[in-house]
Amino acid sequence: MRIDIITVLPELLQNFTQESIVGRAQRKGLVEIHVHNLRDYSTDKWRRVDDYPFGGFAGMVMQCEPIDRCISKLMAERKYDEIIFTTPDGEQFDQPMANTLSLAENLIILCGHYKGIDYRIREHLITKEVSIGDYVLTGGELAAAVMTDAIVRIVPGVIGDEQSALSDSFQDNLLAAPVYTRPAEYKGWKVPDVLLSGHEAKIKEWELNQSYERTKRLRPDLLEKK
Ligand code: 6GU
């Protein structure tokens, strides 16, 4: 899978794409993430990519040309499954959307900024508008990082034990059960006995009960989706 991220703040995303599980997935050759500096596609001598809005509204608007030049170049090189725009008025990102997007071959994520982008880009080039939640960020970079992280980690082979991605919170609309590691007792704080019992069926039953109990208490809305 390949993800192309278009941004005016490439430095903000560079470390993220090289580190941790996402970085390792790239080194393993399972995914390729390319960060493009939108200013490289400006034809302005000051490398500007925004301008004042028609109608005299406040703020600046990202112009059509640099975005179109960047997306057109990428589209000439390969076929994209989705051209995503990050925006607070987009469709809410969630685990089912991450699952679907993880099956894509090629994705573009265009990071929104300033007051917004010229609406013609959204009408003519963007295929999917996505928000990561009901709050406003200064730009779409962190949203692009969140989406990329959630998508990449469920690509087969990225997480060693594939069970572990499938047993995540939200994969079945249940929160995950608590986990513990050694020592079995720390400062008098004890690990539940059942986990030390070696009784596999009982442990599975305990995990499922914990999942239901925690979901009912913390996120009852998820149980209504089941
Ligand atoms: Cl995708 N972008 C911005 N700027 N703010 C957001 C968002 C995206 N999702 C939630 N808030």
Pocket test for ligand 1, best of 126, 128, 137, 142 (most atoms within 8 A of CB): 137
User: What number of other Cβ atoms are within 10 A of residue 203's Cβ?
Assistant: 16
Atom of ligand 1 nearest to the CA of 139: 4
Of 178, 185, 184, 181, nearest to 209 (Cα)?
178
Per DSSP bridges, beta strands 106-111 and 2-7 are parallel
Is 3.90.550.40 the CATH classification of the domain at 167-223? no
Neighbours of 44 (CB within 10 A): 13
End-to-end CA distance of the chain: 30
Q: In CATH, what class is 2-152?
A: alpha beta
Report the alpha-carbon distance of residue 5 to residue 12 in Å, rounded: 11
> Which residue in the block uniquely carries the two structure tokens 């590691």?
181
Q: What is the mean pLDDT of residues 103-115?
A: 92
131 lines ligand 1 (CB under 6 A): yes
> What is the rounded distance in angstroms from the CA atom of residue 8 to the CA atom of residue 176?
37
Q: What per-residue confidence (pLDDT) applies to 160?
A: 78
The residue behind tokens 């941790």 is: 20
Query: Does residue 140 line the site of ligand 1, with CB under 6 A?
Result: yes
| Per-residue three-class SS string for 8-49 | CCHHHHHHHHHCHHHHHHHHCCCCEEEEEEHHHHCCCCCCCC
Mean pLDDT of 65-87: 98
Q: Is 86 in the pocket of ligand 1 (CB under 6 A)?
A: yes
Beta bridge partners of 185: 190
Residue ranges of domains in the chain? 2-152, 167-223
Work out which ligand 1 atom sits closest to the CA atom of 135. 11
Q: Which of 86, 94, 114, 138 to mutate to test the pocket of ligand 1 (most atoms within 8 A of CB)?
A: 86
CA distances from 220 to 27, 120, 217 (A): 40, 41, 6
pLDDT score of 56 more than 70: yes
**Cα–Cα distance for residue pair 152/156, rounded to 1 Å:** 9
pLDDT at residue 226 tops 90: no
pLDDT more than 90, % of the chain: 88
Q: What is the mean pLDDT of residues 49-70?
A: 95
pTM beyond 0.85: yes
| Residue 164 pLDDT greater than 80, yes or no | no
DSSP one-letter code for 114: T
pLDDT confidence of residue 115? 76
Q: How far is the CA of 73 from the centre of ligand 1 (A)?
A: 26
Q: Which of 151, 129, 142 is nearest to 33 (CA)?
A: 151
